[in-house]
Amino acid sequence: MHRFPLIRSRWLHTTRPAQYFGPCKTTEKTFDKILIANRGEIACRVIRTAKRMGIKTVAIYSDADANSLFVQQADEAYRVGPAPTSQSYLNMDAILDAIKASGAQAVHPGYGFLSENSGFVKRLDEAGVAFIGPKEYAMAAMGDKIQSKIIAKKAGVNTIPGYDGVVRDAEHAVEIAADIGYPVMLKASAGGGGKGMRIARTAHEVREGFKLASDEAQSSFGDSRILVERFIEEPRHIEIQIIADNNGNILWLPERECSIQRRNQKVIEEAPSTHLDAQTRRKMGEQAVALARNVGYNSAGTVEFLVDKQRNFYFLEMNTRLQVEHPITEYITGFDLVEEMIRSASGLELTTTDQSKVEINGWAIESRVYAEDPEKYLPSIGTLSKYVEPRSWKTENDVRCDSGINEGSEISMYYDPMICKLSTHGPTRADAIATMNHALDQYLIKGVTHNIPLLRDVVSSSDFASGRITTAFLDDHYPHGFKGHKLTSETAEQLATASAALQFIRQARESYTHVASRSASYVLLLPQLQPDGVHKLEARVTLTLDSETVSLQGANTFTVSTEFTNGEYASTTNTLKVVWDVDMPFVEIKHASGDLTVQFLDPLPLGFRVQFLGTKFDIDVLLPRQRELMRFMKERERLDTSKLVLSPMPGTIVSVAVKPGDVVAEGAEVAVVEAMKMQNVLRAPRAGTVKAVHVQPGSTVSGDDIMVELEDE
């Protein structure tokens, strides 16, 4: 056990001031010191409230996290083991040693890891240490999805038709599915976070899904039990936050809409939901309270429901911890949920015990920014070479970033790839959406692949704006994966003119002198997504500076003429105001059709890479003569990878299903790779004979490693 030296460091990087929730009732005694049995952004989040309450904090860290932001922010920090979670953040003995060494009186578990492990709560109780969460018996009852469903029925909560017992094996699951009717959901009895879940529509899918779900459940939660229940078609995933104390007070807070998911993990949440009316909201809240009261619940918790088109709602599960998406509830209610948990654990009442005083204030949206490929949702690892979070926009508190990283931080294969929870708030949903789009445009991340392009595309879509969402939103809108933003006539013209203006200003800035000419002409080649691939969209842009000199910091106004030479889009002439701040990596364009942000990412040999509407575009910026000469150059040949099975991500090989000489059909399983406790089946891209296998179970692979080679039969 090594104590990390005390470091006085930066405050949690968030655009919301610490005073947002108002002053604490400092005369009320809670704890002197708490230990946070977690890492990353949630550890930073708990530290923020603890400091506001005058409580000292203790962090624990693995070897991979020794220099992390949460370790720097805590008053004390203790090493608990190597990077793998089983040897560190799930190592109860090491954590209990840290509690004893630090003298912490209570433990906040955050979410994930041991946050829903009733055995951990029991050991804390035996050690005389308070757990900032529910009692052991309530956690055990609600943490078991089979048992919780039985309890929910007894409490009068609507439940989904399904089998209430333990499923013995895959064949038993097939029998159950036949009885209750397809489609069915195979779901881990323990844990959450989308792990250990599969939808099955046939007996074959039940058998395959049972193995994958049970393996994931065992890996993630140490419990391979699976339950089977009817899958509700086109549902919404809507949850009710409850807070309770040890004095019998339980409040329900307005709902969170969590329907936009990938791999059963939430991506975008909002509060409240566009789907619920006041009556349904009240009924769901009352059922959530009834369930909590039935098990003697005494902390923050979330009751999750599936809601169909007719607003019929069914109990899904109860999460006996603080949810990842809790910031949007804090935005619209003013509650500090971490403070409520600490108060309850110390024996105090909730800050408010009157349900009638719980109101909805505006609208909030949260986007989970992940280090992952947005096309296939596969994790990305690396070091953040550049990291700048967005600022507030229209008001002081309309943008909030909950993160536990900074520039230079490493995104590791050992932990969840979430970079940040980006939340926005406004008086209306439209305001919250507009602020989210603006914030995503100003978010700068380099060093890892991230999902901001997908988030931006979803939030700016017409279906999202109108509230037409279900849990199948991403599958329906991106059936072949997210490929990037497709330029329209309007956005292509905006990107072309903005890029030409950006090039003009960059040249002026690099010369550190006045531009000799107030006009410039460029040929821009923009990547345009087409059904058969990415084509180049050619635009000729002429800019005339309306003033005598270029402003190297501030506003420049241009008259811009844009002509698309392939005739796909109409030619335009307009006035464009470009606001350039040398301290920031983006330019703001005041355009006739509205304001937009273009983020400069990297210089390229023939132009530069920008981020526009969330998507990265590699733009060639040429002089007219250069474009003419370029037509005589040969295009580079692409490597044929059609006979290769490549690792889609860094991870560990769980199993290999083929050997050299095997004949495989297109789509046949070749191997299973695990990363961040999620198992991914890799399939043959075409029919053929296995020529070579380069991996074996237990092998560690990097992204794009060749795993299997095929040849024609």
Single-letter amino acid, residue 190: A
Q: Are 334 and 397 in contact (CB under 8 A)?
A: no
Q: Residue 295: what are its φ and ψ, rounded to 5°?
A: -105, 10
Beta-sheet strand order (sheet of 399-403):
313-319, 300-307, 236-244, 250-262, 265-271, 363-370, 418-426, 399-403
Residue partners of 248: CB distance under 8 A and separation at least 6: none
Euclidean distance between CA atoms 559 and 550, whole angstroms: 14
Q: Are 64 and 414 in contact (CB under 8 A)?
A: yes
Euclidean distance between CA atoms 146 and 304, whole angstroms: 15
Residue partners of 639: CB distance under 8 A and separation at least 6: none
The conformation of residue 419, written as its DSSP 8-state character, comes to E
- Single out the residue of 379, 313, 299 nearest to residue 132, CA to CA: 299
Euclidean distance between CA atoms 159 and 305, whole angstroms: 9
Q: Are 397 and 425 in contact (CB under 8 A)?
A: yes
Residue partners of 512: CB distance under 8 A and separation at least 6: none
Element (H, E) at 578: strand 572-580
Q: Residue 336: what are its φ and ψ, rounded to 5°?
A: -100, 105
Our CA dihedral for 454, 459, 462, 463, rounded to 10 degrees, sits at 80
Strand partners for 591: 594
Euclidean distance between CA atoms 148 and 146, whole angstroms: 6
Residue where the block lists tokens 């006979």: 643
Provide the annotated active-site residues. Answer: 317
Indicate the burial class of 491 (C-beta count within 10 angstroms; 0-12, 13-18, 19 or more).
middle
Distances (CA, A) of 598 to 140, 526, 591: 50, 14, 12
Q: Are 33 and 104 in contact (CB under 8 A)?
A: yes
Indicate the burial class of 458 (C-beta count within 10 angstroms; 0-12, 13-18, 19 or more).
buried
Q: Are 311 and 257 in contact (CB under 8 A)?
A: no
